[in-house]
Chain A
Amino acid sequence: MEKSSNLKQKDVIPRAQALLKELEAGNDKAASELIDELSVMKERELFQGIGKLTRNLHDTVSDFFDDTVLSKFSNIDQQEFPDALERLNYVIQMTEESANTTLTVVEETIPLSENIENRGNELRRRWGDLRSRKLTLDEFKQLSNDIEDYLDYSIDMSVQLSSKLNEVLLAQGFQDLTGQMIKRVITLVENVEDSLVELIAAASYRQGSPPDQKTHKSGHDPNTKGEGPALPSTKEGIAKGQDEVDELLASLGF
């Protein structure tokens, strides 16, 4: 920016001198025209500066996705970009499955609890009739049978409701799994940000200012820290489901 200002001095100085002269002479109209001219020049310079920055940004971004620059400035593996996209898609898929599981169970459960309530209400009404001695002997016998049925029915329904609630409980496991996936994407974004800062530092060094000496983040040891859930597309070395885990452990004498 400074360099371009210097280049423009030969245009600016004569106008500034002329402006001073016109102002001293009380020539307001001419002075105002000269001020306009100067501000147009200033704006043009600004737009040129913005254009240059845009160009730089574009080049930086293009360079960034170039393999060599990427590996020079960061420890980001190229494969991590498609992986991150797949991870986010997997998060959508898992949250959708979990929401659907929960909704299905709720839809199945509501009629069960409605039935329990309706049958209970009906028996309660007839029980009231019995207490106020309105029932015939036959009606009383029928009521006793129905109450017995209802007791079995309510035990059966309680078991069913517990099992449905357990399904809902397990469906919440998505929060842990998707959370682990999103954390990995956040780490990637942070690495990209760090790399961009380093690129900018290196670019400003080329333009004359010293580079920001920043040490690279060292990659963590994947084995002890854990890697989070495997992506569905990952095949090598991954145990698919509990059965394969059990097989592997059995082969180790478990």
Chain B
Amino acid sequence: MKILVVDDFSTMRRIVKNLLKELGLSNTEEAEDGASALTMLKGGEFDFLVTDWNMPGMSGIELLKAVRADDSLSHLPVLMVTAESKREQIVEAAQAGVNGYVVKPFTAITLKEKIDKIFERMTG
């Protein structure tokens, strides 16, 4: 299971990576904005994408839409971990095909629940 963690704040990337490690998911790579994330996704065999929304350059929602629009990536599960909590934004993410949405600040349990749920759906 290879995971790409995208956030413009390196502290948040470290937090998410460490939490994923706790869940037994230690094969992670990092990107600091949507554009570099998209390049990495196209080049590497990633199984899961965890992304922030608010980033300079290409934002997380733009990344999500680009992923869904790309034939080779369209089925990639995407979890958004973001401080964006406007209802219209959550609706937009859902419509763009997000698989899970976690608002910051979050707990380790919340992150685990959402990831478990996504994996359940993938295998089920």
Contact = CB atoms under 8 A, between A and B. Distances in A.
B85 A169 contact: no
A252 B97 CA distance: 11
Interface stretch (A7-15, A144-152, A224-232): A224-232
Contact of B105 (A170, A226, A227, A240): A170
Contacts of A245: 85, 90, 101-103
A230 B53 CA distance: 13
B27 interface: no
Contacts of B59: 224-226
Contacts of A226: 53-55, 59-61, 82, 84, 89
A248 B90 contact: yes
A177 interface: yes
Interface residues of B, number: 37
B12 A176 contact: yes
Given A226-B84, A228-B83, A248 B91 contact: yes
Nearest to A221: B59
B15 interface: yes
B104 A177 contact: yes
Interface string B57-69: 0011110000000
A227 B86 contact: yes
A229 B90 contact: no
B11 A223 contact: no
A238 interface: yes
A111 interface: no
Given A225-B59, A245-B101, A238 B85 contact: yes
A6 interface: no
A173 B101 contact: no
Interface string A216-254: 000000011111111000000111111001001100101
Contact of A169 (B15, B54, B86, B104): B15
Nearest to A97: B105
B71 interface: no
A141 B123 CA distance: 52
A172 B15 contact: yes
Contacts of B82: 226
A230 B86 contact: yes
Contact of A179 (B9, B60, B90, B106): B9
Interface of A: 162, 166, 169-170, 172-177, 179-180, 223-230, 237-242, 245, 248-249, 252, 254
21 contacts: A170-B15, A170-B107, A173-B12, A175-B9, A175-B11, A176-B7, A176-B9, A177-B83, A177-B104, A180-B9, A180-B83, A223-B88, A223-B92, A225-B54, A225-B59, A226-B60, A227-B84, A227-B86, A242-B106, A245-B101, A252-B91
Which 4 pairs between the two chains have the least Cβ-Cβ distance?
Answer: A226-B54, A229-B83, A176-B9, A176-B12
